[in-house]
């Protein structure tokens, strides 16, 4: 599953993208190479594809004055991305 490409989503040792993994009721970002893991922060957002109620949130400001901010929600379970806001 792909997640945001901010530097906090990379393994500090291996420098590869961490993937989301549900362990019990918690969500962790895990390195598939060395096993490094850290607790992930997420928000409540119902996924329209799988029904999961947790998602990572990515904010993208408006690119023009007449646009709303864009907010992307990436489901922690299936990786589906939903967009809120409008951009031309």
Q: Domains plus CATH for the chain?
A: 7-84 (2.20.25.10)
Counting as low any pLDDT under 50, the low residues of the chain are 1-7
| pTM attached to this predicted model | 0.65
Q: What percent of the chain is predicted at pLDDT more than 90?
A: 32
CB-CB contact of 70 with 84 (8 Å) = yes
CB atoms within 10 A of CB 58: 16
CB-CB contact of 54 with 41 (8 Å) = no
DSSP character at residue 41:
P
Residue 81 tokens, joined: 């991305």
Q: What is the pLDDT of residue 33?
A: 94
Distance CA 76, CA 55 (A): 5
């Amino acid at each position: 599953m792909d997640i945001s490409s901010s530097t906090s989503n990379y393994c500090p040792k291996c420098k590869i993208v961490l993937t989301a993994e549900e362990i019990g009721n918690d969500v962790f970002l895990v390195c598939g190479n060395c096993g490094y893991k850290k607790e992930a922060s997420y928000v409540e957002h119902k996924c329209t594809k799988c029904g999961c109620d947790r998602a990572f949130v990515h904010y993208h400001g408006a690119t023009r004055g007449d646009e709303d901010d864009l907010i992307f929600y990436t489901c922690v379970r299936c990786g589906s991305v939903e967009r809120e806001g409008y951009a031309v």
